[in-house]
Every structure is written in C-alpha cells, then in structure tokens.
Amino acid sequence: MTTTSVALGFEAVERAVRVLRERLGSIPPTAVVLGSGLGGFTDRLASAVTLSCREVPGWPVPAVIGHAGRIVSGTCAGRQVLVLAGRVHLYEGRSAAEVAFAVRVLGRAGVRSLVLTNAAGGINPSFAPGTLMVIDDHLNCTGTNPLVGPNDTRFGPRFPDMTEVYSRRLRAIADEAARDAGVPVTHGVYAGVLGPSYETPAEIRALRTCGADAVGMSTVTEAIVARHMGMEVLGLSCISNPAAGLNTEPLSEADVLAAAAAAEGAFTRLLEAILVRL
Ligand code: HPA
C-alpha cells in the first residue's frame, strides 16, 4: 500500500466524517457533486451552512477554476441536501485514492444517493451544447481505478459488480422530473478520460465506435467508489461543446465554462425537480 492510500484509508475517512458532523450537524442521505461551471446551484439552497474543504482533514483541495472547494449543507425544495461545489481530478496529479476520498466520507457519513454532475463534450452528433444527458453507463478510460490496491472490506467487496453503476431507479426519477419541470433530457454513455489535454479527433472517433455519447475528465472514479460502498448513483452531464473534430472550432476551457453557465438555469430546475423526488 502506498503512503497516500494509507493516509487516506478508513481511519482518515472516519476522522473527516466526525468533522463534517461537528460542523454541519446531521448529514442528509442525498448529496450532489457539482461539475465545472455548475457551482451556482448552491445559491438555490436555503438555510445553507458552508464549510471550506480546507477545514476537513484529508479532504483534497481543488486547484482548477470553476471548482470552488466548498461543502454546503442546506435545503432545496424542502429537502435537506449536501452539495460539494468543486471536486479534484486525476489530471491535477491527484491519485485515484484522493479523488475517492470525498465520496468515501459521504458514504460513511450516511449518504445513500449520490448525484454526480459534470460538463462534457458531446460525441453523439445530435447532442448540441446545452443538452442535458442522464448517464446510463460509463467507459472508464482514465487508465486507473480507485479500487486498485489492498481492499478494505469496511468500504466494500474486492470485486464489486458494475452492471448498474447508474441506478435504474434514479434514472427513471430523472426522466419523470425532467418531464414535470419541462426540461428536455437525453440519455447516453459517458466516457471518463484522464485529460488534461482535450481529445484528438481520432480519439473521439474511437470513443464513438466504443459506444460513448459524451466525454469528460471526472465522474467515473467517484461513481466506482460510490458503487463499491453500495450507494445509488445518478450521473448528469451538461454538454458544453461538440467533442474534438465534430466542428471546426478549437476547444477552450473558457468556452466549456461559458456553455455550462448558460445551461445552468435548466440544469438547476432539473436538479431541484429530481431532489424533491428522492
Ligand atoms: N473533452 C473532455 N472533457 C470535457 C470536454 C471535452 O470535450 N468538455 C468538457 N469537459
């Protein structure tokens, strides 16, 4: 076991859980991780209590623009929810164990339903920027897996099943919520890549051939860790750009963030409609 994975093991997770409880009180059974450009959702929370991730021992601090590193507990449409505004990514040089840490803390604190959101490039040619996609399944193309190394059965089994990473029940709830909120959604397969460079057009063609509809640099690591712990996962992608080679424009982070921000209104309505049903 590496020093990092020992340092972020079960006892460290339990320490962080204690701090979260001390600072935020009871932890609700539902949590949301907000992706790039989608952090504004926290403004919709009532009676919000905010904690900086720097205040939680072991919690890795995000280094990228658009990822604030806040843990917010509050109510949305009358339901208590815990929101993580900001996450760490493998491309920052973080280990999969570091990316896993926050999800493990949530799981041990009692979160049972985890909503993972992200901004993603659209591979499916019918996905224009602004499309909201319910993730049906994923391709882990990051080159790593957060469960590599000795398995701690207090988190979950050595060889966890991944037949239904993204809960069928929660996907059906997302569809119902989308209909009621009047927010169109589509469904698809999310390919999680390492980054930080965007893909080449050849890589996008390869991912398309493999069945991917969208591509991004987050979510799959967290989803695997959450399933390992038996949490129910819902994944939502906000398509921020056509993936490389699907139009003539070069990709830029500024465009990705701007497109995610433009879709934030619809995204927020969808999320609220989902949360009232959980
Ligand atoms: N590729 C990878 N990650 C992304 C993209 C993309 O095109 N857009 C937003 N995140």
Neighbours of 255 (CB within 10 A): 14
Range of the domain at 172: 3-275
Ligand 1, atom 7, lies closest to the CA of: 121
Residue 10, Cα to own-chain centre: how many angstroms? 22
The pLDDT of residue 63 is 76
Instruction: Decide whether any atom of ligand 1 lies within 6 Å of the 267 Cβ.
Output: no
Q: Please choose from 117, 190, 240, 249 the residue to mutate so as to test ligand 1's pocket, defined by most ligand atoms within 8 A of CB.
A: 240
The amino acid at 38: L
Give me the residues paired with residue 191 across strands. Answer: 139, 215
The pLDDT of residue 262 is 87
The pLDDT of residue 261 is 85
* Residue 126, both tokens: 């019918």
Dist. CA 16 → ligand 1 center (Å): 31
CATH number for 228 = 3.40.50.1580
What's the pTM? 0.95
How many structural domains does the chain have? 1
Instruction: Decide whether any atom of ligand 1 lies within 6 Å of the 216 Cβ.
Output: yes
Instruction: Decide whether any atom of ligand 1 lies within 6 Å of the 217 Cβ.
Output: yes
The pLDDT of residue 2 is 45
For tokens 């069928």, name the residue. Answer: 168
Tell which residue, 154, 165, 223, has the closest CA to residue 13. Answer: 154
Which atom of ligand 1 is the closest one to the Cα of 119?
Answer: 9
The pLDDT of residue 65 is 57
43 in Cβ contact with 50 (< 8 Å) = no
Q: Please choose from 241, 246, 257 the residue to mutate so as to test ligand 1's pocket, defined by most ligand atoms within 8 A of CB.
A: 241
Instruction: Decide whether any atom of ligand 1 lies within 6 Å of the 60 Cβ.
Output: no
**Torsion angle in degrees (nearest 10) through CA of 250, 255, 257, 258:** -160
* Tens digit of each residue's pLDDT, the chain (278 residues): 444 455 789 999 999 999 999 999 999 999 999 987 788 889 889 989 999 989 999 998 877 655 568 999 999 988 999 999 988 999 999 999 999 999 999 999 999 999 999 999 999 999 999 999 999 999 999 999 999 999 999 999 999 999 999 999 999 999 999 999 999 999 999 999 999 999 999 999 999 999 999 999 999 999 999 999 999 999 999 999 999 999 888 888 888 888 888 888 999 999 999 999 99
Dist. CA 165 → ligand 1 center (Å): 21
